[in-house]
Amino acid sequence: MRILLDGDGCPVVDISIKIAKLYKLEVIIVKNYHHEIYDDYATIITVEPTPDSADFYIVNEARKGDIIITQDYGLAAMALSRGAFCINQNGFIIDSENIDGLLNRRYLNQELRRKHKKYSKFKKRNTQADIIFEKNLKNLIESQL
């Protein structure tokens, strides 16, 4: 079991590395060269800043039983098909039971944005979100040990 992070704009890199160290898991962070991430524990892979280049790298690298941390439902769907587990930055577990609904909602939101009828306004991240993410990532790891 390894942890692979979609590192571009990911707010839980440090928490993920801390937990990986606790369980002695390998961490691979995939980012484009516009993002600066440094860590002595994690393997950091830098890809071109083209659309989906980090996603495709992660999917090609993912193995059965790996944990993928991403907020991209398209990446999550591809990773699930490879037997990986997925969790987003808020600690929400993405699985075969909910991925179709999440992808459908993503599509509908894209259509609304294209028609300028709806714009996403993300709430500022708070400490509670970090606590939930940490708890759920630990639970996911422990359920597979």
Domain ranges of the chain: 2-95+126-144
For the stretch 42-78, pLDDT in tens is 999 999 988 889 999 999 999 999 999 998 899 999 9
Output the six-digit token pair for 77.
Answer: 């769907």
pTM of the model: 0.86
Determine what percent of the chain is predicted with pLDDT higher than 90: 63
- Please say whether the structural domain 2-95+126-144 has been given the CATH code 3.40.50.720: yes
What is the reported pLDDT for 106? 66
Residue type, 135: K
Burial class (CB in 10 A: 0-12, 13-18, 19+), 78: buried
What is the reported pLDDT for 6? 92
Question: Does the pLDDT value for residue 118 go beyond 80?
Answer: no
Question: Does the pLDDT value for residue 15 go beyond 80?
Answer: yes
